[in-house]
Chain A
Amino acid sequence: MDLQNAWAVAAKDFKILRKKSSVIYSSIVLPIVIGVAFPLILNYAIEKNKNGGMTAATIPTLMDAFSIWFLIGAVMIPTAIASYSLVGEKIQKSLEPMLATPMSDGEILLGKTISGLLIPVAAIYAGSILFMALMDQVTVGKLGYLYYPNWQIGAILLAAPLASLLSVQLNVIISSRVNDARTAQQLGVLVVIPFAGVYVASEMGFFQFSDTNLLIIAGALLIVDLCLFFLSKATFQREQILTKWR
């Protein structure tokens, strides 16, 4: 595996994405909105309930619930870039010349994975830093201590790249079956459903996003990622791409 080749593929994708501003914006908007909007909402709620109503004990619960959105975002965001990156190549028929070079299938796949992963993960991390800084600013007066950083957000940020990787790999598989980036993205976004389900379950009190549970989720994601790695690698074979991909 020549990492330089994989990086060249990713760098080429970044160059193309720079000219597709809508794809980039759609990737960075959600983490920034989560990072800024939730602290503002919490600030508004604290200000509104200055004279009681919201106790210091409820604030961490709210912050924990808000922070889970970074995990959901980590699954959702890569679909735009990953689907564009592969389906775009299919539409432009640029995969065949690339497959004719000495690059291995694995190197191309790794390059595609890097390009699908890097921007969303960077955006999630940047959004979470913003989130932590603003949340601390908003809540330190009420709590009397800085809530972030803590193990919970640490576990979320550990699971987030794994969730993004899952999303990217699923998109590789989906992209082999469709010829339209929008369809690929719409199908890819369906991966959010189980995460949203767990979130709803937590809101209803059936599940807790404790540090341990988040680590278990991270472990499960790692196992699913490994399975998907082999599946997407099996899908991303020269002969399959040229003869079976639609």
Chain B
Amino acid sequence: MIIVIDTENLTKRFGDVNAVESVTLHVEEGEVFGFLGPNGAGKTTTVRMLSCLISKTSGSARIGEYEVGNGADQQKIRRMIGLLTENVGLFEELSAYDNLDFYGRFYKLSEQSRRERIEYFLRLLGLWERRDAPAGTFSKGMKQKLAIARAMIHDPEVLFLDEPTANLDPEASKTVRDFILELKKEKRTIFLNTHLLDEAEKICDRVAILKTKLIATGTPQDLRRSLSRRKIRVQLQRMDDGIVRAVERIGFQVVEKSDNGLVINVGDPEKENPAILRAIMDVGGQLQFVTEIGSSLEDVYLKLVRGEQ
């Protein structure tokens, strides 16, 4: 296991304001790591520190073998990473080709290599036919794709994507997400800043939730399991109060009831379901089906950022 992004108590203060406080995280090679948090949580500031755009106030961070904040390593880190900024920041008057060609020069790519890579990415992202059109004439989705291609032009080992699908329509979002999944297949390390939980759940191997401080880290599944109570829905032919009483008598909480079913809080459904179902049937309940109600990453996220856990 190779740690590619490694931070210890990384902190950034602007005057008296703590923008990022004591963030410790370890991102493995080839991992897609989601960095979640509400606006102003410090996601962009963290990415800017890790991309050597702004200095850290304290703590340490390493990208690969290089130390963030060490003057001699800054250039090496910038060569190693690709950054998709929150605002695409394209040169709107320049063509898609020229936008990429401009950036390719700073990574000392030969003219032929630049040509090949530009063609590869523009074809991959379906922009080749529009290569000579000014970027300013592109739709939001096309601009975003072009900006991702720009971040990839030098074949970086680590890719920082800051809100890659923000402000995009569903179709454009899907295209960008699919592209990120393609990159994932190439085993690139991707650090994804997002506040779209659905996106994080679909793409990320692990996520961290930030609200100035890091409040949770884990796989989306682990976070769901560890931080939210599991529930089951029991569908019955007919409901009566005796069934509710029977369930509560054996120590479970009924959180919702309707004409033909109830929702019960459980700790471990695999172990506890048989006892619950037996209690229901003992008082004459006729079962139709039992399902687990999965809590989403969104539930977990909201609980954490609201400080409910």
Which A residues contact B (CB, under 8 angstroms)?
A: 4-5, 8, 12, 15-16, 19-20, 92-104, 238-239, 242-243
Contacts and interface: CB of A to CB of B under 8 A. Distances in A.
Interface in B102-126: 102-103, 105-107
Nearest to B19: A243
B91 A92 contact: yes
B75 A94 contact: no
Could you tell me the dominant secondary structure of chain A's interface residues?
Answer: helix
B118 to A, nearest CB: 15
A167 B236 CA distance: 82
B75 A238 contact: no
B107 A92 contact: no
A235 to B, nearest CB: 16
Contacts of A242: 48, 53-54
B150 interface: yes
Contact of A94 (B51, B83, B89): B89
A231 B134 CA distance: 35
Contacts of A99: 53
Given A16-B94, A92-B92, A102-B75, 6 more contacts: A8-B105, A12-B102, A15-B94, A102-B79, A242-B54, A243-B14
A93 B14 CA distance: 21
Contacts of A98: 89
A205 to B, nearest CB: 49
26 contacts: A5-B105, A5-B106, A8-B102, A12-B94, A12-B98, A15-B98, A16-B94, A19-B93, A20-B93, A92-B89, A92-B90, A93-B85, A97-B83, A97-B103, A97-B151, A98-B89, A100-B78, A101-B103, A101-B106, A102-B78, A102-B79, A104-B75, A238-B53, A238-B54, A239-B54, A243-B14
Given A4-B105, A103-B106, A243 B91 contact: no
B87 A16 contact: no
Nearest to B136: A92
A12 B54 CA distance: 25
B55 interface: yes
B12 to A, nearest CB: 10
3 tightest Cβ-Cβ pairs between the two chains A and B: A93-B87, A94-B89, A101-B106
Nearest to A97: B89
A97 B83 CA distance: 7
B136 to A, nearest CB: 9
B147 interface: yes
Nearest to B92: A92
A104 B83 CA distance: 16
Contact of B89 (A5, A8, A95): A95
Contacts of B107: 101-102
A97 B161 CA distance: 12
